[in-house]
Amino acid sequence: MGGIGGWPNLPSCGAGQRIGLFGGSFNPPHGGHRLVSDMALRRLRLDRIWWLVTPGNPLKDPRALRPLEARIAEAARIAAHPRIQVTAVEADIGASRTRDTLRYLIRRCPTARFVWLMGADNLASFHHWYAWREIARTVPIAVVDRPGYGLAAVASPAAHWMASRRIDEADAALLADLDPPAWVFLHGRRSPLSSTQLRADQTR
């Protein structure tokens, strides 16, 4: 089935595949998104990563969003990797909340081993997400460090709630096989790029 702008509403998912889910506005996408994906593919031993380009974020101002079709096309250009697939599945199914997206994906791909990918800035505010505890109980989570957010992330309410289920970074390759809640904090080369800053630069 075709999705927004002709893009498929869901990439193929083979039985037992380890798939990273990287959701966001990608407004705009940039090299930092690709850096996170490259790290996750390698450190978590994933088969694929899906960039879930959201039609809108309930926690962000929708007036700042570029058109979905433009963000998808630019994301595909930035991703440029055979194991990174860009999808508008959330627009296709009418989902604006991660909880609902995960429920749909698990129904459609019941044998896949999903891992949710997020930056440290997202972990710092994760407790504001709708049904965040359910999300944490649904899929393992990999948190990637970002400049200026490491301390706030590990001190956040969500990090404290999940503290006993955090695994050592050296065991990151095991994450996709663990029962949630389970999470890991990944450190490595960090990108200073941010979509917020890029948008601000474009308006100057």
Predicted pLDDT at 64: 74
Mean of pLDDT over the chain: 89
Beta strand spans in 37-112 (E): 48-53, 84-87
The model's pLDDT over 129-171, given as tens digits with 9 standing for 90+, comes to 999 999 999 999 999 999 889 999 999 999 999 999 999 999 9
Entry pTM: 0.88
Using the 8-state DSSP alphabet, how is residue 189 labeled? -
Please name which of 180, 3, 200 lies closest in space to residue 88, comparing C-alpha atoms.
3
Query: What confidence score (pLDDT) does residue 188 get?
Result: 82
Q: What is the identity of the amino acid at 45?
A: R
73-82 per-position pLDDT tens digit: 999 999 999 9
Euclidean distance between the first and the last CA atom of the chain, given in angstroms as a whole number? 40
- CB count within 10 Å of CB 161 equals 15
166-196 pLDDT, tens digit per residue, is: 999 999 999 999 999 999 999 987 666 554 5
Question: For position 189, what pLDDT does the model report?
Answer: 74
Radius of gyration (C-alpha) of the chain in whole angstroms? 16
Q: Would you list the domain boundaries of the chain?
A: 32-48+57-190
For 115, phi then psi, to 5°, come to -130, 130
Name the region of 149 (left: φ>0; alpha: ψ -120 to 50; beta: rest).
alpha
Q: Which CATH number fits domain 32-48+57-190: 3.30.43.10, 1.20.1270.10, 3.40.350.10, 3.40.50.620?
A: 3.40.50.620
What is the percent of the chain with per-residue pLDDT over 70, rounded to a whole number? 85
**Is the Cβ–Cβ distance between 71 and 27 less than 8 Å?**
yes
Rounded CA gap, 120 and 133, in Å? 17
3-state secondary structure of 50: strand
The answer on pLDDT for 63 being more than 70 is yes
Question: 184 has which bridge partners?
Answer: 142
Q: What is the mean pLDDT of residues 101-116?
A: 96
pLDDT of residue 5 exceeding 80, the answer is no
CA distance linking residue 181 with residue 101, whole number of Å: 17
CA dihedral 69, 120, 30, 91 (to 10 degrees): -10
pLDDT in tens, 10-57: 898 989 999 999 999 999 999 999 999 999 999 999 999 999 999 877
